[in-house]
Amino acid sequence: MSKLITIELPSSLLARVRKAAANEFETPATFIPMVLARALPESVPRTILRDGGKPPARKLLRPLKPRTKRARIVRWFMESTSPTVSAAKDHFRCSREVIFAALTALHHDHGIGYAFNAASDKITLRVPPLR
């Protein structure tokens, strides 16, 4: 038994979802929507985006090797004038998921945290004390 889920989408996104669904399935009869979507006016603010991040550890867990990809990501975020996820994607030629996976690995293995502001797409690194 399937569940029916209702999601509200902006009208521009709803049109893209319908187009993608039409392209995905060969005949309209094979597409049975499991999600009902109702268009929102474009004037609705996009406050649905979620801020997030990871807190820094109490101390640096282990140092970064200078020539690794993680070290390059940290160096880029520390030196960049606009440290956004979009700019990082363009610089490193990778997906958004790869950037966040690297930041999560930095937190787990080295204790380096980060703050993510979803509205501005900005990442701020939180480096623990070195002692």
CATH of the domain at 81: 1.10.10
Cβ neighbors of 128 (< 8 A, separation 6 or more) are: 56, 57, 58, 59, 60, 111, 112, 113
Total of domains in the chain:
2
Q: Tell me the pLDDT of the chain (131 aa) as tens digits.
A: 444 444 555 566 656 666 666 665 554 433 334 444 444 445 544 444 456 888 888 888 888 888 988 899 999 998 988 899 999 999 999 999 999 999 999 999 999 999 998 888 899 898 887 76
| Structural domain that includes position 80 | 52-126
Burial class (CB in 10 A: 0-12, 13-18, 19+), 77: buried
Taking the whole predicted model, whether its pTM rises above 0.95 is answered as no
Same domain, 87 and 114: yes
Radius of gyration of the chain from its Cα atoms, rounded to whole angstroms: 20
